[in-house]
Structure 1
Amino acid sequence: MTRAEFMGRLRRGLVGMPAAAADEIAADYEIHFEDGAAAGRSEAEVAAALGDPDRLARELRAEAGAQRWHQEQNPSAAAGAIFGLIGLGAIDILILLPIVFPVFGAVLAVLVSGVAIFLAGGAVLVAGPFLGAPGGVLAAILMGVGLMGLGLFMGGLMAVLTKWLIDATVWYARLHYRVLKPALDNQPQAWGRN
């Protein structure tokens, strides 16, 4: 991506912000390109290092809204902060939903299947010896224990996978925390005072 393409997309993403703030942000990113050129880097390398300009604009708008709320604390500033954060999250939701629903659905399906297999194994273990199962009493008991073991394995595997998915979600949320951190750090700690 060229400098002009990157800056055009960044400026389009900053539409709606106060003009002075948008111009200051754009000037900062122009400096990145100038510094990169002075260091012998191509425009494409600098643009790749800076990341997606559309996402960057959403993050900058959210951060600007949070900072404005900290400075002004009026309904207009609150609305700007809320809409900036919703805009940041809305795109993420649209990107993540096609990935998250099938993954969590599959985990839930395997977990439910594991519970059903465990219960079926318990039923075979208890009733199998009395129903004249093929292979005799020992085969029915071993089959019941085996099915219960498979059900426990599936449940344990899904517990580990669920933990990994939750950790990944927390990691992803922490990526966005850096947008809010400057505004949160400057908030007064009123609940600790008497």
Structure 2
Amino acid sequence: MSKSKFLQQLNESLKPLSSKERADILQDYEEHFSIGLEEGKTEEEIVTSLGSPNQIAKELLADYHVEQATAKATTQNILRATWAVIGLAFFNVVIVLGPAVALAGFILSAWAIGLCFLLSPILVLGEAIVHSSGFFLFNLFMSLAFCGIGYFIMLGMLVVTKLAIKGFVRYLKYNVSLVKGGLKRAE
């Protein structure tokens, strides 16, 4: 593969990045070619030593998305980072996706339980308006107790969610470095 074809494929694979970031990356690889040519290597030898432009792009995009998730931990950034890391190696589908889905399910269900407990007095008051029963005060006091429990659950889930996001981003960074290190040793 020639230098121009390598750089063209790399540029195409890096489309999700801004044009400025792509230009910086392409400039770095231009320098690799310049240095290699000065050392007497052919373009094909340089391309072989660099590896596949698609794999390089996957690694760079994974780094980029993990940095985005670190800088601003939004759901969209975390999902992009997750998919970028999964794209690095098939092994990560089992390692990253399974625990991520389980953890997300636990966190979402705990938030839902906390919210339901927190809103239980409103439901009891609504029931009292529609159906008056002799157990209104008992139901109201129990719903207030559940409201308090729901408040503490939601406070706890706020902390757990922040820790889970930080831990998950760190885990994604670890996976990126693991895959990158494994690929470098294989070359």
Bucket of the pairwise TM-score, normalised by the shorter protein: 0.3 to 0.5
Which has the larger Rg? 1
TM-score (norm 1): 0.45
Relative contact order, higher structure (CA 8 A, sep 6+): 2
TM (norm. structure 2) is 0.47
